[in-house]
């Protein structure tokens, strides 16, 4: 059974949250990406809340700018430091009975971008990290700077920062947003998961507005360079901002056309305790295409000593 509520945070942001499992149990926190919302984790929340799967307290917030969470108007409010602050505050609240520490932080896409930063800056807030098709900032920056394949694959990011992106995305019943799911290749699960019922849940989120979710792209320089915008080519990240000292699972659908497999090359240079699982027959949307595989991989990782 999924519970929902609005969680005020000490710094003035409110996050709308979904959860399953009893308070006081070890906490798994799940972070969604674009153009999704917290509801995409419901099956995993209910799975891991069951006693036979660990009996965890499973929480999935809607990131700022999404669903009923606070959506500041200033683009600068979507920079990484503010996103990390939100999740750190939520962890403090949800894991207070666990010494303020998660059993694991699980994240996909933009949620992963937040999770990589949090695990680097505030490792004491989590025991383990699990990333699903979300590029590590070190390998992503490397590929954006040097690999024309990644620059082409990420070209959509420069569309999403346009001032008219909201209007264009809303046209024709969100045709371009459906294309985010349908144009990234089909895994063995195909597109059967994108039912009319699921589409209605996405529409309910998107109808609240798209500006907050698009401001993630506008606030970040990690995108392909253009003639008038050096973007990623102007950035250098020091190594101390890239290392992860927690046991980390990286689960990667190799059919992800936006985030090619080159992004997982060299990860062990940044993550000494890395478990890397490649999934040949899955795409960026592996959580939807093969939820059982995702749950089994996460279950095995949680049991690792």
3-state secondary structure 159-184: HHCCCCHHHHHHHHHHHHHHHHHHCC
> What's the pLDDT score for residue 197?
96
| Number of compact structural domains in the chain | 1
Provide the edge-to-edge strand list for the sheet that holds 27-31. Answer: 3-8, 14-20, 57-61, 27-31, 104-108, 129-132, 248-253, 274-279
What is the domain-level CATH number for residue 207? 3.40.50.1820
- Residues 91, 124: contact at Cβ < 8 Å? no
d(CA 48, CA 58): 7
**3-class DSSP assignment, residue 253:** strand
**3-class DSSP assignment, residue 57:** strand
**pLDDT tens digits, residue range 264-288?**
999 999 999 999 999 999 999 999 9
- Residues 97, 74: contact at Cβ < 8 Å? no
Q: What percent of the chain has pLDDT over 70?
A: 98
What Cα–Cα distance (Å) separates residue 196 from each residue in 6, 202, 228?
27, 10, 41
Asked whether residue 166 carries a pLDDT value surpassing 80, the answer given is yes
Full domain range(s) for residue 101: 3-303
d(CA 288, CA 282): 10
Band the pLDDT of 33: cuts 50, 70, 90: very high
> What's the pLDDT score for residue 288?
95
Q: What is the mean pLDDT of residues 202-224?
A: 97
Cβ of 153: how many Cβ atoms within 10 Å?
A: 21
> What's the pLDDT score for residue 191?
74
d(CA 114, CA 129): 12
d(CA 191, CA 285): 10
Full-model pTM: 0.97
> What's the pLDDT score for residue 183?
76
> What's the pLDDT score for residue 85?
98
In sequence order, which residues have a C-beta less than 8 Å from that of residue 176 and are 6 or more positions away? 168, 169
> What's the pLDDT score for residue 53?
97
**pLDDT tens digits, residue range 87-100?**
999 999 999 999 99
**pLDDT tens digits, residue range 36-55?**
999 999 999 999 999 999 99
> What's the pLDDT score for residue 187?
56
> What's the pLDDT score for residue 117?
98
**pLDDT tens digits, residue range 100-129?**
999 999 999 999 999 999 999 999 999 999
């Amino acid at each position: 059974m999924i519970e929902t509520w609005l969680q005020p945070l000490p710094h003035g942001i409110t996050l709308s949250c979904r959860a399953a499992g009893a308070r006081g149990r070890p906490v798994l926190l799940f972070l969604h990406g674009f153009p999704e919302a917290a509801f995409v984790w419901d099956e995993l929340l209910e799975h891991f809340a069951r006693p036979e799967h660990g009996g965890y307290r499973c929480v999935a917030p809607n990131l700022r700018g999404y669903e009923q969470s606070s959506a500041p108007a200033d683009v600068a409010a979507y920079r990484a430091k503010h996103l990390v602050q939100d999740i750190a505050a939520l962890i403090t609240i949800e894991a207070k009975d666990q010494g303020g520490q998660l059993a694991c932080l699980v994240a996909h896409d933009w949620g992963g971008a937040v999770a990589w930063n949090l695990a680097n800056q505030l490792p004491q807030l989590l025991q383990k990290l699990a990333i699903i098709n979300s590029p590590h900032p070190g390998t992503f920056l490397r590929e954006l700077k040097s690999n024309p394949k990644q620059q082409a694959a990420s070209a959509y990011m420069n569309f999403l920062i346009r001032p008219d992106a909201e209007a264009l995305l809303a046209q024709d019943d969100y045709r371009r947003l459906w294309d985010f799911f349908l144009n990234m290749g089909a895994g063995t699960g195909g597109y059967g998961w994108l039912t009319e019922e699921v589409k209605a849940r996405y529409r309910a989120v998107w109808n609240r507005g798209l500006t907050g979710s698009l401001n993630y792209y506008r606030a970040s320089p990690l995108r392909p360079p253009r003639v008038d915008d050096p973007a990623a080519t102007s950035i250098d990240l020091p190594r101390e901002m890239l290392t992860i000292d927690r046991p980390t699972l990286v689960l990667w659908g190799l059919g992800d056309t936006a985030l090619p497999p080159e992004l997982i090359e060299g990860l062990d240079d940044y993550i000494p305790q890395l478990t890397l699982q490649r999934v040949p027959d899955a795409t960026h949307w592996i959580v939807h295409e093969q939820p059982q595989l995702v749950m089994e991989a996460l279950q095995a990782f949680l049991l690792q000593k």
